[in-house]
């Protein structure tokens, strides 16, 4: 059984948005086992610092490595993030609960992994927010991450959470992943070592992409 | 004194937690894969690119809509297409009417991902521009559902609607 399940009743929006027919097995095919290389993408601005306008909030860095299941780095790969502001409000016309927008915070960022698969963002810690899924439902604070990986099959969009969030127990999106080890993989770790004195606290978040990956083993160097 | 000891013990435990997370491994010794989570309703803050839909200005235009199980358009989805020859990736968020479009080099088919609020994992399908394509994947799909993968020729290109659930539900693949 693949996780998370597409039909997950505790998350109400899945009700009309999951296929009822079984998925059809797709054998290995070159189209899906390949994927766009960085030069074939047109993302526009690459900006990994979301704080250049001086937003309100707790300044943090979020850094880590993009890896495959064997621990090999995935280099030159686009990472995109988006998030709420420190008050838990998204800069979006549908985000309309009574928390303030921050004129100095957009909430989107992009970067590219280096030769070791490493990336870093500078941002502010997003706030939790209510979302109406069930009475008094609040999302744990999170940052959305989008990864393209090496192949179309490795595509992943996930959410990064913060350690020790008291809302974990109540959140059906987080808990749609039933395997505790896999859930733990979505939680960043606090890093005093990476914090910068008088400037920013730091969280680390390694991302591991599964999927079939048709690229040849990289040469040792 | 006791308090101090306990605190230092807590710090040690915290350190172990960090280590354990980076070492999270399956019983086969491979790294635990990061699970998928929904893009949520606010994906347009992070994913759209100004030129995202147009991989090749001289290519073919494929457009369509995304619908849910009640036949309502999905206004918070994003459609991504890929074909390796020639390599071309395109992405387009849907508008309030569920409409999207891409302009890509002609290929007999393109691979597709659909991401949306309410989808805990993205869905994978294919759009066949050539209905007569001699293709093992198309052939593997039950005949009565095969037409959900075929684009319809239009005056300005091709049309392909994606029905996530219900009547004429699009075929989605397990990859």
The tens digit of pLDDT for each residue in B143-156 reads 999 999 999 999 99
Other Cβ atoms less than 10 A from the Cβ of B108: the count is 15
The pLDDT value given to residue A212: 67
A217 in Cβ contact with A70 (< 8 Å): no
DSSP A47: -
Of A75, A91, A144, A185, the catalytic one is A144
User: Could you tell me if B124 and B159 lie in one domain?
Assistant: yes
Same domain, B78 and B16: no
- The mean-pLDDT minimum among A99-113, B66-80, B125-139 falls in B125-139
Test B140 with A206 for CB contact under 8 angstroms. no
Determine which of B35, B53, B95, B145 to mutate to test the interface with A (most A C-beta atoms within 10 Å).
B35
DSSP string for residues in A121-136: EEEEPPPPEE--SSTT
Length of chain A equals 221
CA distances (Å), origin B147, targets A196, B107, B126, B131: 57, 18, 11, 9
What mean pLDDT do residues A102-125 have? 98
For residue B32, which phi and psi values (nearest 5 degrees)?
Answer: -70, 130
Q: Which residue of chain A has the CA closest to B89?
A: A36
Domain A44-209 fold is Protocatechuate 3,4-Dioxygenase, subunit A (2.60.130)
- Sheet strand arrangement including B123-128: B87-93, B77-84, B109-116, B123-128
Same domain, B24 and B108: no
Residue B99 and residue B17 share a domain: no
Asked if A8 has any chain B CB less than 8 Å from its own CB, the reply is yes
pLDDT at A215 over 60: no
The answer to whether residue B93 sits within a structural domain is yes
Say if B60 falls within a structural domain: yes
Q: Could you give phi then psi for residue B20, rounded to 5 degrees?
A: -60, -40
pLDDT of B15 reads: 43
Say which DSSP state B149 is in: G
Distance CA A44, CA A51 (A): 18
pLDDT tens sequence across A3-16: 899 999 999 999 99
Which of A25, A144, A181 has the CB atom closest to B174's CB atom? A25
Check if the beta carbon of residue B67 is closer than 8 Å to that of residue B79: no
Q: Is A107–B47 a contact, with Cβ atoms under 8 angstroms apart?
A: no
Q: Over chain A, what is the mean pLDDT?
A: 94
- B18 and B71 share one domain: no
How open is the CA angle A11-A17-A23, to the nearest 5 degrees?
110
Closest CA to B47 of A92, A3, A39: A92
Domain range enclosing B78: 43-163
Please tell me the predicted confidence (pLDDT) of residue B28: 82
Q: Residue A119 catalytic?
A: no
ipTM of the complex: 0.95
Paired with A110 in beta bridges are A80
Contact B36 A157 (CB under 8 A): yes
Residue A71 neighbours by CB distance under 10 Å: 16
Question: Do B18 and B74 reside in the same domain of the chain?
Answer: no
Domain count, chain B: 2
Question: Residue A57: which of A22, A104, A96 has the closest Cα?
Answer: A104
Per-residue pLDDT band for B44 (boundaries 50, 70, 90) equals very high
Range A178-191 average pLDDT:
97
Q: Quick one: residue A94, left, alpha or beta (phi over 0 = left, psi -120 to 50 = alpha)?
A: alpha
**Residues B144 and B105 grouped into a single domain:** yes
Number of Cβ within a 10 Å radius of residue A95: 18
B65 and B136 part of one domain: yes
Is this model's pTM higher than 0.90 or not? Answer: yes
Put simply, whether A186 touches B (Cβ < 8 Å) is: yes
Query: pLDDT tens across B54-75, in order?
Result: 999 999 999 999 999 999 999 9
Specify if B86 maps to a domain.
yes
Domain for residue B15, yes or no? yes
Q: Is B10 helix (H, G, I), strand (E, B) or coil?
A: helix
Domain boundaries, chain A: 44-209
Coil, helix or strand for B78?
strand
- Considering A59, A65, A89, A139, which one is annotated as catalytic? A139
Average pLDDT on A50-57 reads 98
Give the model's confidence band at B17: pLDDT under 50 very low, under 70 low, under 90 confident, else very high: very low
Tokens of A201: 């606290």
C-alpha to C-alpha distance for A60 and B156, rounded to whole angstroms: 48
B110: Cα within 13 Å, side-chain hemisphere: 31
| Sign of torsion over alpha carbons A171, A172, A178, A182 | negative
Does B171 map to a domain?
no
Question: Looking at the structure, do residues B99 and B67 belong to the same domain, yes or no?
Answer: yes
Cα separation, B125 vs A21, in Å, equals 13
Q: Is residue B175 part of a domain?
A: no
Q: Which tops the pLDDT comparison, A2 or A182?
A: A182
Tell me, what's the pLDDT at B13?
A: 42
One domain, residues B29 and B96: no
């Amino acid at each position: 059984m693949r996780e998370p399940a597409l039909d997950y009743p505790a998350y109400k929006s899945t009700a009309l948005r999951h296929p009822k027919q079984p998925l059809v097995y797709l054998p290995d095919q070159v189209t899906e086992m390949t994927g766009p290389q960085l030069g074939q993408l047109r993302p526009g601005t690459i900006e990994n610092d979301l704080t250049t306008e001086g937003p309100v909030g707790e300044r943090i860095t979020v850094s880590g490595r993009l890896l495959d299941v064997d621990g090999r780095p995935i280099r030159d790969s686009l990472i995109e993030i988006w998030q709420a502001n420190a008050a838990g409000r998204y800069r979006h016309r549908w985000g309309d609960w009574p928390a303030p927008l921050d004129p100095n915070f957009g909430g989107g960022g992009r970067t590219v992994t280096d030769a070791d698969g490493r990336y870093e963002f500078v941002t502010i810690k997003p706030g939790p927010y209510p979302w109406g899924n069930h009475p008094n439902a609040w999302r744990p604070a999170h940052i959305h991450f989008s990864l393209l990986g090496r192949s179309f099959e490795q595509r992943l969009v996930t959410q990064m959470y913060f350690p020790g969030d008291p809302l974990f127990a109540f959140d059906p999106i987080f808990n749609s992943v039933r395997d505790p080890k896999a859930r733990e993989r979505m939680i960043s770790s606090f890093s005093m070592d990476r914090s910068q004195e008088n400037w920013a606290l730091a969280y680390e978040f390694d991302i591991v992409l599964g999927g079939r990956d048709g690229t040849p083993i990289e040469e040792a160097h | 004194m006791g308090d101090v000891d306990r605190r230092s013990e807590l710090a040690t435990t915290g350190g172990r937690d960090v280590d354990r997370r980076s070492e999270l491994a399956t019983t086969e010794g491979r790294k635990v894969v990061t699970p998928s989570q929904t893009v949520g309703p606010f994906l347009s803050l992070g994913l759209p690119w100004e030129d995202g839909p147009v991989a090749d200005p001289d290519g073919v235009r494929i457009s369509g809509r995304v619908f849910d199980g009640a036949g309502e358009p999905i206004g918070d989805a994003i459609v991504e297409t890929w074909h390796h020859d020639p390599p071309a990736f395109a992405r387009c968020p849907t508008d309030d009417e569920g409409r999207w479009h891409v302009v890509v080099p002609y290929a007999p088919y393109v691979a597709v991902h659909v991401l949306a609020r309410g989808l805990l994992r993205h869905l994978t399908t294919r759009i066949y521009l050539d209905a007569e394509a001699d293709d093992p994947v198309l052939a593997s799909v039950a005949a009565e559902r095969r037409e959900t993968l075929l684009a319809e020729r239009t005056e300005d290109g091709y049309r392909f609607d994606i029905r996530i659930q219900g009547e004429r539900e699009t075929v989605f693949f397990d990859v």
